[in-house]
A = this chain, B = another copy of it.
Amino acid sequence: MLIVQKYGGTSVGTLERIEEVSKRVIDTKKAGNDVVVVVSAMSGVTNKLIEYAEYFTKIAPASKDMDMLLSAGERVTSSLLSIALNEKGYEAVAMSGRAAGIITDNTHTKARILEIDCTNLKKALGEGKIVVVAGFQGVSVDGDVTTLGRGGSDLSAVALAGALHADLCEIYTDVDGVYTTDPRIEPKAKKLDKISYDEMLELASMGAKVLQNRSVELAKKLNVNLVTRSSFNNNEGTLITGEANMENSSMEQVLISGIALDKNQARVTLRGVVDKPGVAAAIFTKLAAKNINVDMIIQNTSHEDGTTSLGFTVPQNEMEAAREVVEGTARSVEIDSDVVKVSVVGVGMKSHSGIASLAFTTLADEGINIQMISTSEIKISMIVASKYGELAVRALHKAYKLDA
């Protein structure tokens, strides 16, 4: 098998940790696999480099210089890991993003990968070498070093796995995998063996610490089998894969994968909006123009006075920007940031009825008022008052038998 392994900042946080990682890489190689390793900077290094830059300038600039600065951390880790592997008798070679052929656009500090030139990688793998790639970085079409933004090393790993048609892309962090819900809220939360790309994307608010959506989306697009697992133990992680693989492998299909809690929500309610064609469109076009991310949208049927009420949610830090946009478009504007979004996620929903009603009944039984509801094929999201958020998660986790 060809396996891409990515080790995050805490996994390579100290020289001792890098030594541990080298052993894991060697075990993978010894098992007969070809191995490409992608590493982050040692934990804290990237933040320290940003602090350095901010000594000279208030806001670290999105420049070539900044990318040359930020890319240093991963170069150090990849060199050290390769040195450690060679010392143990396993031929390895460190590669920068440039050497690994990660070609990006010119958007410095948050470049997008355009293509992967696998020439160097394939040559080294063909020679039996372990390749250790500095994550988070690439080279622009203009030939300058670029970095990929937050979560960039995951993205490097997924992109390389896709380009090399790797059998597996393992993302090592300090977390065992994806759980049915946040274990700090519900200690009975279970680690999932498998989850589909789409479910993972919906669970983002819960899973963001494990893997960012950008990487999951790329994995889905490139059909990369992702495993997220811990580098601090030998527990099996969670496989994130296509729905087809999910169904083939489990005779009895799991209906619901998890319960997510998103605390970064604000609910905007417009009352007395004139209910004629184009009004809602105008409002949401203006919000989009300001780069405000609108999530749930609810429009009630019209009142007798020819007006309607319109509700939507935005991230809390975009709340005031949203207020400016909608001010004056309605009789009254109410913004409430004291809310959370609770979501029930599962591909099983598609083919089973009654999933949503169980959610509503469960919250009703707990005396929790549901302020807004939106549903998709694999998700039911509900806005409730903040104080009920954790209770709602626990109640739903139990109702859907996720702790079984």
Interfacial residues, chain A to chain B (CB-CB below 8 A): 15, 18-19, 22, 49, 52-53, 55-57, 60-61, 63-66, 68-69, 71-72, 75-76, 78-80, 82-84, 86-87, 92-94, 96, 99, 134, 143-145
Contacts and interface: CB of A to CB of B under 8 A. Distances in A.
Given A15-B52, A19-B56, A49-B76, A86 B61 contact: yes
* Main SS class of interface, A: helix
Nearest to A64: B93
Contacts of A60: 83
A80 B94 contact: no
B68 A75 contact: yes
Contacts of A61: 83, 86-87
A379 B65 CA distance: 47
A86 B65 contact: yes
Contacts of A79: 53, 65-66, 68-69, 72
Contacts of A66: 79, 83
A57 B87 contact: yes
A79 B75 CA distance: 15
B56 A83 contact: yes
Given A69-B76, A72-B76, A94 B56 contact: no
The list of the 5 closest CB pairs from A to B, nearest first, reads A69-B79, A56-B84, A57-B87, A65-B82, A68-B79
A145 B99 CA distance: 10
A37 to B, nearest CB: 13
Contact of A93 (B65, B84, B87, B145): B65
Contacts of A96: 68, 145
Contact of A86 (B19, B63, B76): B63
A65 B94 contact: yes
A87 B15 CA distance: 35
